[in-house]
């Protein structure tokens, strides 16, 4: 990894690039929010950011601390009720992309943000929970997931399915009648993963600059599949880094 940028900056830039101008994006707090706000500032000025609190078209000048941050309401095109966000915008399929984080992610893109451990009633760790993520994962046109890659987060099977990805493989979403395509991209600090067209198993398709394949394999809790045409992610541009750093500075 070049000394000119960090692994987290590479991850944020790669995630932001996945969002195109004119898209509508349901944004989670944390890394997803950073990537979405970077995209809007860097290359997608017409990206519509939608937050669970009911803020449509938010244009925050800094990274929001939570979905209830007043900065989102102050800069939004409209503020509507939470039920309206879900009943009118999300569930009918009016949102292009859901951008989510995770505590655990398995090889079929299922997300756990509920508990760590096999006993739900007496877990090792109780996590923040679902929020609107299950509906986002079910109903958005597609889902992008962003998180740092390590064996504790990338597991063979999640301890609890909070948000449904591809279940146990291709066809499970259709069998359940879920309208969205589910996870189509996972962005980490090491590379990019996409579901295999035949099996829906997450497959490494891009390595970030300076990252060795063995490192990604070691950071994954299952036998990682690697694309035959494995690519190298383009490094962040000076403009992307400037915009990202200005955004982070405004949020300090």
Q: How many CB atoms lie within 10 A of CB 182?
A: 25
Which is catalytic among the residues 9, 52, 135, 240?
52
Catalytic residue status for 84: no
- List of residues 6+ apart from 76 with CB closer than 8 A: 55, 56, 57, 58, 59
**Residue carrying the six token digits 């890659």:** 149
Query: Over the chain, what HEC string results?
Result: CCCCCCHHHHHHHHHHHCCCCCCEEEECCCHHHHHHHHHHHHCCCCCEEEECCCEECCCCCCCCCCCCCHHHHHHCCEECCHHHHHHHHHCCCCCCEEEECCCEECCCCCEECCEECCCCCCCCEECCCCCCHHHHHHHCCEEEEECCCCCCCEECCCCCCCECCCCCCCCHHHHHCCCCCCEEEEECCCEEEEECCCCCCEEEEEECCCCCHHHHHHCCECCCEEEEEEEECCCCCHHHHHHHHHHHHHHC
Catalytic residues: 52
């Amino acid at each position: 990894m070049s000394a000119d940028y960090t692994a987290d900056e590479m991850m944020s830039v790669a995630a932001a690039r996945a969002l195109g101008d004119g898209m509508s994006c349901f944004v989670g707090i944390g890394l997803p929010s950073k990537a979405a706000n970077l995209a809007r500032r860097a290359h997608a000025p017409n990206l519509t950011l939608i937050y669970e609190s009911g803020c449509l078209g938010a244009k925050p000048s800094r990274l929001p601390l939570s979905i209830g941050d007043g900065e989102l309401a102050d800069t939004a095109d409209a503020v509507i009720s939470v039920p309206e966000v879900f009943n009118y915008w999300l569930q009918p399929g009016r949102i292009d992309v859901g951008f989510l984080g995770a505590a655990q992610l398995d090889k079929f893109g299922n997300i756990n943000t509920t508990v760590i451990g096999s006993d739900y009633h007496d877990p090792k760790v109780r996590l923040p929970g679902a929020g609107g993520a299950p509906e986002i994962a079910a109903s958005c046109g597609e889902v992008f997931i962003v998180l740092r890659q390590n064996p504790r987060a990338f597991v063979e099977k999640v301890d609890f399915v909070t948000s449904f990805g591809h279940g146990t493989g291709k066809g499970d979403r259709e069998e359940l009648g879920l309208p969205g395509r589910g996870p189509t991209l996972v962005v980490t600090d090491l590379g990019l993963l996409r579901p295999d067209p035949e099996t829906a198993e997450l497959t490494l398709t891009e390595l970030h600059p300076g990252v060795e394949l063995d490192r990604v394999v070691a950071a994954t809790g299952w036998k990682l599949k690697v694309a035959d045409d494995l690519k190298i992610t383009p490094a962040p541009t000076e403009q992307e880094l400037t915009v990202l750093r200005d955004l982070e500075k405004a949020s300090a």
